[in-house]
Structure 1
Amino acid sequence: MITNTELEYKGDLYPTKIVSFEHEVDSVFFHTDNSVILKVTVLRDSLIRFRFTTKGYFSNDFSYAIDKSHSHGYNFLEVSEVEDYYQIKTSKVQCRIQKIDMRLSIFDLEDHLILEDELGFHWEESYEYGGNIVKMSKSSKDGECFYGLGDKATQLNLKGKRLENFATDQYAFQKDQEPLYKVVPFYIGLHNKKTYGIFFDNTFRTYFDFCHERRNVSSYWAEGGEMNYYFIYGPQMQDVVTTFTDLTGKPELPPLWALGYHQCKWSYYPESNLKEVAAKFRELKIPCDALYLDIDYMEGFRCFTWNKEYFPDPKRMVAELAEDGFKTVVIIDPGIKIDKEYSIYKEALEKDYFCKRADGPYMKGKVWPGECNFPDYTNPAVREWWAGLFKELVSDIGVKGVWNDMNEPAVMEVPNKTFPMDVRHDYDGNPCSHRKAHNIYGTQMARATYHGVKRFAYPKRPFVITRSAYAGAQRYSSSWTGDNVASWEHLWVANIQVQRMSISGMGFTGSDIGGFAEQPSGELYARWIQLGVFHPFCRTHSSGDHGNQEPWAFDEEVIDITRKFVSLRYQLLPYLYTMFWQYIEEAIPMLKPLVYYDQEDIQTHYRNDEFIFGNQILVCPILEPNSLGRRMYIPRGHWYNYWTNQEVKGGKEIWVDTKFDQIPLFVKSGSIIPKYPIQQYVGELEFDELTLDVYYKSGKEKSVVYEDAQDGYDYKKGRYSFLSFQIIGKEKELIIQVHKEGKYDTNYSKYKINFIGLPFKVKNIEIDNEKILFDKRTFENGNYLIIDKEFTELHIIGE
């Protein structure tokens, strides 16, 4: 038994005994005799916030991560005192706080332990900075698993790992390298088939240790700030993830084109080069919706300028690309070149908008334009000014999206790759040093960019993408996983990173397909495309140092595979759009690791490769060269092989044969998968029928399809179409019922229904209780039916 005295002797300090408490509405305050205060706030029955202070008072409560509109309100709250502890009880959990040392434990209502403190809260005086290093350690049980923390380049289950959160420009990062570009200090614990979540909302450099240093202890700590964390109870992982996503916020619907295929390179210039790329996509019939301009489109890398030698008339060029279905996305970095002739620099200087060092001068750092100053995006006035700068790009020239890069913030030629830690920030009226503001700098830049693009794109929807992000950045921006490498290992890493981002609240994420650094082989590029089309954000991007990385840089077979899989993504756009709708409406992640899908099956706890795309499609990429098949785990239930339509019973690992132009894809039985015809870009075609692939199941299954005008804000006024399909499969019949909500009338009038896996020959077909005539021979040959969309029940009766 370690005593408090011994621990203090080691340099760490601990709360002593509780001497008083008070209950105020949704919060309970506990005071110790060494001036520690714990504030416990019940936000929802399954969401409890814990704040500790060692000063005897709390600083101003401010967070960039928490969405002010998040759901809160509880059904039941009772505070009671027994001999050794205080108890706070809700309708989901009970929290016990020990009187002797403030250590706490959380139980469900059946008294099953969910989470308990090991040493609990402790701290170390940091005289160098005048604050505390705040620490928390929890007991971990044998078999406990850990997930989350954003885009870490390591296996999905974090058990045994020690990780660091400090937004860093990690060019060509390696597997297991720490830290990376994003900071999401949120993890999910799973033990005894029950899950909980911890969100440590602290923007200083933070660390997490999942039983790495000590076998049965998980811990997290920060180099400053408060011990301030949210506990989320499941017991299902989906409950934890949706609560966290709701707490930190959800994005708006993107325009549908943003879910298409994007092409990028460092850099497409001059204009003729960009036009050639555009023409080649259309010639080869590989669908594409967006082309990106990297830093070379600017005049000397100055933000909000154009190099008139490369792009003499940007407005004309952007309009001509738009006529052919291409949207133009441009990069904007935070570094503003120090140049007295440069209007943006002059204006920021006059208004005193740049970050300053502690002793007064503007912080100066080298990035692409040379010596730069950097706007303080934590100042609301600076964000408002920055938003206004997008008028010319978006309103006048017609750019459709903006890409924020280098916003960790990255600085060249300095050992720490970023600002000095003494740089000062406004932090929305809570002045602080860069130690506190570093991890949210990129998010606040993305926020200012989003408000600018949204203002000037209106009545269309904005599209923004950021490299650096803190929890909550998903409210403003999509993201990608940064400067990866053209290697098979990085293909494995990309698959896990995007799954992890999805369950960490940031769904709209992808990787640089093919790898940014170095050059992929044709085989690696093809395998990456086959994975990338199943990521919410789908973009090829490369450094261009080793040649080109457009699909036609490889042989005919790779071109054909790229066309096939990108075309499949475009067919699945209504399915993908529906996934996005469920993400923004219900906080359901768009990609689901197998452990999220079925946490009660212990076989899923260590699976990395397979994931569920949406709710009904199982994807397993091929991650090794020269592979025409692989072993994979099929989760419980019945699944159809997408390529062969053969049904497989899950709950086991199987070998799946594939070809070079395939990866293992399975569709859950009972699913109805909506498909559009293949288009070269979103909105190219008017079409009169929606394809529905119906996969037979014995029993019931529900599917949904969300559609709207694909851009604009009419959907917020009820102008959307939300179809709920239910299928009921029996031995010799299949019933499809449909219920429609919303005021949007789609431009198609018919459904083409493909029936897959029907176990009987069809004798009769009834629509809304009326028998219809149909050609049995045609039906048996094609297994499809074309019917008017205005039906409520379709009844297929077998012989």
Structure 2
Amino acid sequence: MITNTELEYKGDLYPTKIVSFEKNVDSFYFHTDNNVVLKVTVLRDSLIRFRFTTKGYFSNDFSYAIDTTQLHGYNALEFSDEVDYYQITTSKVKCKIQKADLRLSIYDLSDAVLLEDELGFHWEESYEFGGNIVKMSKASKDGESFYGLGDKATQMNLKGKRIENFATDQYAFQKDQEPLYKVVPFYIGLQNKQSYGIFFDNTFRTFFDFCQERRNVTSFWSEGGEMNYYFIYGPKMEDVVTTYTDLTGKPELPPLWALGYHQCKWSYFPESNVKEITAKFRELKIPCDAIYLDIDYMEGFRCFTWNKEYFPDPKRMVKELSDDGFKTVVIIDPGIKIDKEYSVYQEGLKNDYFCKRADGPYMKGKVWPGECNFPDYTNPEVREWWAGLFKELIAEVGVKGVWNDMNEPAVMEVPNKTFPLDVRHDYDGNPCSHRKAHNIYGMQMARATYHGVKKYTYPKRPFIITRSAYAGTQRYSSSWTGDNVATWEHLWIANIQVQRLSISGMGFTGSDIGGFAEQPSGELYARWIQLAVFHPFCRTHSSGDHGDQEPWAFDTEVIDITRKFVNLRYQLLPYLYTMFWQYIEEGVPMLKPLVYYDQDDTQTHYRNDEFIFGNQILVCPILEPNSVGRRMYLPKGEWYNYWTNRLVCGGKEMWIDTKYDEIPVFVKAGAVIPKYPVQQYVEELDFDELTLDLYYKEGIEKSVVYEDAQDGYDYKKGRFSFLTFQVTGKEKEVIIQLHKEGKFETNYSDYKINLIGLPFRIKSIQLNNEHEDFNCDEINTNGFLIVPKEFHVLHLMGA
């Protein structure tokens, strides 16, 4: 830990004057007379990397975070040598490097300052561990706001906060507690209606100070490694997030069932209990696609084993669950029990796959099985071995998903709750201590798990979920927010964490519905379900030591609310799937805080609660008990109340009345929202029509719908359906134009179009520019019409 304040420690060293520079294609090297080298690399016109070394040369350039498959390139690149500074100019920004002290400043093309160094780069020799404590301080203007940094349990706007990044098993964490399970050292700055991003790609313990220590200074520093960061220019927040997500990578599409509702508890056993739980979901007609098995399914908590007393025939059980629409997901932890009769341990020992202390012996730690050794997932050979261990679970037993837990890594009965810092790691051929590898340990475990599950699930798609993560983990796994608590405060925290992760590149996330620790009231559970069905990952999970936490553990009113909202999620699956497609294709976050949606409106800068689900649905959870309504901020535009279809103009704060079985949900005017019929699990039903809820707007609005076979990889061969609906609303007519891309043919034949908010009675209808003999009186009465899916233009006309 750094105990001295970051900015005032007297041992700090600084770069001196630049004595030489050189250019190599897209990289510029600046050398100072005290041996500091700055390498500036232009990756895109709006993406620039800054890398510092104090030893005169750079170590091997290696990162687990960066997606090496991403293409880079720029439209313009100029360099000039001015009297006091060097200037690098792209088609988007100018970067000035001061000759006297290497300080940086970045401007837009109209010379408005986007970001400038205060002290800039400085460092402190770390005599205890070797290397440097590296530091960076930036000037911050009044009114500047900051967002991002992953799963932080604090207000959305980080102004005035100090953040610590060190992956930690933080059971029953509280608001503002630091550090937490994930490390995403990426933040977004917003000032003067311009956004930029900073990604500090350093895996040591890192810190960020957003004007807490000094009012107009933002700083970030690390206990080791390089000062290595990326600057991303917007000017819109959406540009920053998209570029960052491209830089650190995107996942492949999940199977559609993974976006359904999941049920979990520590623990469901024996088999009869699992079957009882799944049967109850079907009996109550609450849709559910996945059932989870926690550590008790194993033999003495040994990974990749089954307790034959509890689960005498896992393959049969998993098939029977599958026949009833349930996919089985099992937990796998990193700790491998030290047991000479245990084959996984024998293999790891024989091949020298476990982590070692600095002076040679294997690192031991206590977790659920007792004393364990731990695989070094930073070794590619170990990752390949680990991937192979999933053959029996996936290919033979038929398990559909794997849940990685305890991978911060968590260790019991030691003060720091993790590995000793002297543990050694391969780090893909860049040997290092645990100080450097700690924050990426969980990521590399998830990576190895992903490759194993993918290999044996093929030709279907894999599903993996991890608790610990570093920037870029989204390429391999979904995640959840860890061991939360059944309190109203934690409902507030969950809402913010999932939004924050979404704009930090990690879209496929959710929280333990109802809280992992302690017992929620029925009301709290109901309100949590109402929020969580609008999270990309939707799972109830609890510790089990306080009783049951299934929907039927509460009264019939809670059961009905749960059914109502889970039904809504299943209806919205094509909308959610489309959101996911846009996330992986375009880097668009699935949840959008209001500031992302409209950064020019300063009223959004400190909003925590409301968010945009996808592009066209606004959600505001109820976060207090006994609520009959709440104040909320409706952003610019026109919005329909989902429950009443009443049209409201945005750009203002307003009071919204709610019922116990509702939360404020609004739909953007002009939107076309696709819906499936309610199913008890994905692919239960064949259906003849896709419902489209069309919300009238005077003007033009585009909506899209993505569909494919819901699993498998044919979508990568063009077998998908991507529909674009352009709706043009006028005083007495609506024109719906449909454009289709892709070779996938959906099973349904028609669209059922629900007409919402239409300000006129329909008198005539043209389909593909020809008059059709629709019963307009019936359509006006019922509020919908059915058309064949092959249509191109639908024209509704009033008198």
For residues 302 and 628 of structure 1, the distance between their equivalents in structure 2, rounded to whole angstroms, comes to 49
Deviation of 1:9 after TM superposition, in Å, equals: 8.6
Indicate the residue corresponding to 2:706 in structure 1: 706
Q: CA deviation at 1:30?
A: 0.1
1:189 is displaced (CA, Å) by 0.1
Q: SS at the partner of 2:542?
A: coil
Match of 2:16 in 1: 16
Q: In the alignment, residue 92 of structure 2 is paired with which amino acid? A: K
For residue 431 of structure 1, what is the aligned residue in structure 2?
Answer: 431
Aligned to 1:404: 404
What is the distance in 2 between the residues matched to 1:534 and 1:385? 37
Letter in 1 for 2:660: F
Q: How does 1:535-614 map to 2 (within 5 A)?
A: 535-614=535-614
In structure 2, the partner of 1:382 is 382
Q: Corresponding residue for 1:257? A: 257
Establish whether residue 337 from structure 1 lines up as the match of residue 341 from structure 2: no
- Cα deviation 1:557-583 (Å, max 9, x = unaligned): 000000000000000000000000000
Is 2:106 aligned against 1:114?
Answer: no
Give the Cα–Cα distance (whole angstroms) in 2 for the partners of residues 123 and 220 of structure 1.
12
Conservation of the 8 A alpha-carbon contact between 1:595 and 1:605:
yes
Deviation per CA, 1:286-323: give whole Å up to 9, x if none. Answer: 00000000000000000000000000000000000000
Count of residues paired in the alignment: 793
2:717 corresponds to 1:732: no
**How far does residue 782 in structure 1 lie from its aligned partner after superposition?**
1.3
Q: Contact 1:154–1:496 (CA<8 Å) still a contact in 2?
A: yes
CA distance in 1, matches of 2:284, 2:562: 10
Distance 2:8 2:319 in 1: 68
Deviation sequence 1:251-274 (CA, Å, 0-9, x none): 000000000000000000000000
SS in 1 for 2:495: helix
Question: Are residues 1:202 and 2:202 paired?
Answer: yes
Shift of 1:776: 2.7
Deviations 1:100-142 (A, max 9, x none): 0000000000000000000000000000011100000000000
Distance 2:641 2:126 in 1: 58
Query: Shift of residue 779 of structure 1?
Result: 1.2
Structure 1: which amino acid aligns with 2:645? N
CA shift, 1:70, in A, is 1.6
CA contact (8 A) 1:751 1:786 kept: yes
- SS of alignment partner, residue 353 of structure 1: coil
1:775 and 1:277 map into 2 onto residues whose CA distance is: 48
The residue number in structure 2 matching 1:3 is none
Counterpart secondary structure, 1:51: strand
Distance between the aligned counterparts of 1:72 and 1:375, measured in 2? 35
Distance 1:769 1:100 in 2: 70
Residue 468 of structure 1 aligns with which residue?
A: 468
Identify the residue that residue 185 of structure 1 maps to in structure 2: 185
SS of the equivalent of 2:497 reads: helix
Aligned partner of 2:631 in structure 1 is 631
Q: 2:760 maps to which residue?
A: 760
CA contact (8 A) 2:764 2:776 kept: no
Flag structure 1 segments of 5+ consecutive residues without an equivalent.
1-6
Tell me the residue number matched to 1:493. 493
1:307 maps to 307
Per the alignment, residue 62 of structure 2 pairs with 62
Instruction: Tell me the SS of whatever aligns to 1:238.
Output: helix
Contact 1:264 1:540 in 2 (8 A): yes
- Are the counterparts in 2 of residues 71 and 246 from structure 1 also a CA contact under 8 Å? no
| Alpha-carbon distance between aligned partners in 1 of 2:581 and 2:491, rounded to the nearest angstrom | 28
Opposite residue 680 of structure 1, the aligned amino acid is Q
TM-score (norm 2): 0.99
CA contact (8 A) 1:182 1:470 kept: yes
Measure how far apart 1:69 and its partner are.
1.1
Residue 274, structure 1, aligned to residue 268, structure 2: no
1:675 aligns with 2:692: no
CA distance in structure 2 between the aligned counterparts of 1:669 and 1:648, rounded to whole angstroms:
9
* Structure-2 separation of matches of 1:285 and 1:659: 23
Contact kept, 8 Å, 1:401 with 1:463, in 2: the verdict is yes
Where 2:415 maps in the other structure, the secondary structure is coil
Task: Tell me which residue corresponds to 1:643.
Answer: 643
What letter is aligned with 1:558? V
Alignment of 1:108-257 (within 5 A): 108-257=108-257
- State the AA in 1 paired with 2:474: Q
For residues 767-786 of structure 1, the C-alpha deviation after alignment (integer angstroms, 9 at most, x for no partner) is: 01111112233212211001
Q: Deviations over 1:441-487 (max 9, x none)?
A: 00000000000000000000000000000000000000000000000
1:359 is aligned to 359
The answer as to whether partners of 1:139 and 1:216 remain within 8 angstroms in 2 is yes
- Which amino acid is the alignment partner of residue 181 of structure 1? Y
**In structure 2, C-alpha distance between the alignment counterparts of 1:79 and 1:350, rounded to whole Å:** 56
The DSSP-based 3-state class of the residue aligned with 2:693 is strand
**Which amino acid is 1:74 matched to?**
Y
CA root-mean-square deviation? 0.7
CA positional deviation for 1:71: 3.0
Letter aligned with residue 557 of structure 2? E
Structure 1 letter corresponding to 2:702? K
1:526 is displaced (CA, Å) by 0.1
- In structure 2, the partner of 1:93 is 93
Query: What does 1:645-660 align with in structure 2 at a 5 Å threshold?
Result: 645-660=645-660
**Distance in 1 between the 2:375 and 2:624 partners?**
44
Match of 2:288 in 1: 288
Q: CA deviation at 1:740?
A: 0.3
1: CA distance between counterparts of 2:421 and 2:65? 21
Distance 1:279 1:751 in 2: 33
Could you tell me how far apart the structure 1 residues matched to 2:29 and 2:793 are?
A: 57
For 1:140 and 1:761, how far apart are their aligned partners in 2?
56
- Preserved CA contact (<8 Å) 2:461 2:711: yes
- 1:591 counterpart letter in structure 2: L
Structure 2 CA distance, aligned partners of 1:70 and 1:84?
36
1:781–1:504 distance in 2 versus 1, CA, 3 Å? same
* Secondary structure in 1 matching 2:276: helix
* 1:690 corresponding residue in structure 2: 690
Q: Name 1:4's counterpart in structure 2.
A: none
- After TM superposition, the structure 1 stretch with the greater mean CA deviation from structure 2, 400-409 or 760-769, is 760-769
Provide Cα deviations, 1:319-367, integer angstroms capped at 9, x if missing partner: 0000000000000000000000000000000000000000000000000
Change (3 A) 1:495 1:8: closer
Q: Is the Cα–Cα contact under 8 Å of residues 8 and 14 in structure 1 kept in the other structure? A: no
- Contact preservation (8 Å) 1:763, 1:798: yes
Superposed CA deviations along residues 168-218 of structure 1, whole A, max 9, x for unmatched, are 000000000000000000000000000000000000000000000000000
Counterpart Cα distance in 1 of 2:106 and 2:225: 24
Counterpart Cα distance in 2 of 1:79 and 1:476? 39
Mapping of residues 615-630 of structure 1, within 5 Å: 615-630=615-630
Is the partner of 1:580 in helix, strand or coil?
helix
- Residue 8 (structure 1) shift: 10
Deviations 1:364-419 (A, max 9, x none): 00000000000000000000000000000000000000000000000000000000
Runs of 4+ in 1 over 3 A off after TM superposition: none
- 1:19-38 equivalences under 5 Å are 19-38=19-38
1:454 is aligned with what amino acid? K
Aligned-partner Cα distance in 2 for 1:233–1:661: 43
Cα distance between partner residues in 2 of 1:763 and 1:8: 76
Q: Give the distance between the partners of 1:651 and 1:162, measured in 2 at CA.
A: 31
Contact 1:71 1:247 in 2 (8 A): no
In structure 2, C-alpha distance between the alignment counterparts of 1:136 and 1:743, rounded to whole Å? 51
2:319 corresponds to: 319
